[in-house]
Amino acid sequence: MSTKNIITVFGATGTQGGSVADIFLQDPKLKSSWSVRAVTRDTTKESAKKLQQKGAVVVAADLNDKSTLIKAMEGASAVYAVTNYWEKCDMKLEIQQGKNLVDAAKETGVQHFIWSSLLNITKLSNGKLPNVYHFDSKALVEDYAREVGLPATFFLAGAYMSNLPGGMFRRDPQADNAWILSLPVSDQAVQPLFDAAADTGKFIKAAVLNRDKVLGKRLLGATSYLTNAQIVEGFKKVFPEAGKTASYKQIPDKAFYEALTKYQGAPDFVAQEMLENMHLFEQFGYYGGESLDETHALLEDKLTTWEEFVAKTSKWGEELK
């Protein structure tokens, strides 16, 4: 009986990592030749136990302790590595954690390191958007992985569909409770949307099955580019009754900033970061305007459309059906 390849999945109880672990545990093509080593900080929590029940080997590791990362990667053929900037909102910390992951992969001889990366927005914007830290930090780790010669692929997660319901797209009590998507950019600003929980694994499956083809390359993790106006139209198609009054509203930068700081308690630097993130959609493009076609050509699995996501999302569905 041949031994299965091991994929070590970091953040296995989170959105991206959970999706990757699931597809390797359930997909017929993958589960016959791959086993999952799921990494989490706390192996006793319910989500970790569920992974174990599905067939994963669950191990504990700390992104701040390289020795634990080495242990988690030993013997693995592939690694999916993701960090969470939003946990501490500390760019330097995220860069260090990313470098720890790269160094551990290098030391253990991992042959396919898949890094959850993003573009360097300071560079892309020629310094006009210098505060989008959660992009730049990941891009700098990507640079480091390339510098040390690690065999790697870089997965650039798109804008999460799950960030829209109840947050940016919600009922407005000041407008007769109508559904309004409100952002500090025009209705023609473009977002590369994807269902992170359902679809991250589909991209990583493609990366592993096409390893030689994608080494050193970026995979763009999005289903499609949609304007803010198209996002509202998709909502209307799924919920025509509620959609009668749904609309897009461009709000001033100041109102967006104050909503984050005054009402959501975000630090000033985070509010500025999110404001610049929004302007990225319109001014330079989340992926710098690059086509999704090359990435999509590698995929074997159908991606979730915006309308499909709207229809299955409980935050909307329970209230509207």
| Each residue's pLDDT tens digit, 212-231 | 999 999 999 999 999 999 99
pLDDT of 241 reads: 87
In whole angstroms, give the CA distance from residue 238 to residue 311. 6
- Whether 184 maps to a domain, the answer reads no
Q: Which residues are within 8 A (CB) of 245 and not within 5 positions of it... i.e. 6 or more apart? A: 175, 176, 178, 179
Per-residue pLDDT band at 159 (split at 50, 70, 90): very high
Kindly report whether the global pTM for this prediction surpasses the value 0.85: yes
Let me know if residue 176 belongs to a domain: no
For residue 56, give the nearest of 44, 48, 45 by alpha carbon: 48
Within a domain: 150: yes
Task: Decide if 5 contacts 78 (C-beta within 8 A).
Answer: yes
Is there a contact between 72 and 61 (Cβ–Cβ < 8 Å)? yes
The pLDDT value given to residue 321: 46
User: Which amino acid, 10?
Assistant: F
Beta strands at 169-172 and 178-183: parallel, antiparallel or unpaired? antiparallel
* Domain with 43 in it: 5-159+195-222+287-301
Q: Read off the CATH number of the domain in which 13 is found.
A: 3.40.50.720
In a domain, 164, yes or no: no
Question: Considering only 82-91, 165-174, 251-260, which range has the smallest mean pLDDT?
Answer: 165-174
pLDDT level of residue 168 (50, 70, 90 thresholds): confident
Is residue 253 one of the residues assigned to a domain? no
Q: Could you tell me if residue 238 is inside a domain?
A: no
CA-closest candidate to residue 9, choices 210, 201, 212 = 201
Tally the domains of the chain.
1
Q: What are phi and psi of 222, to 5 degrees?
A: -145, 150
Q: Is 232 within the bounds of a domain?
A: no
Who's near 290: CB < 8 A, 6+ residues apart? 220
- The per-residue pLDDT for range 33-87, each reduced to its tens digit, is 999 999 999 999 999 999 999 999 999 999 999 999 999 999 999 999 999 999 9
The answer to whether residue 294 is domain-embedded is yes
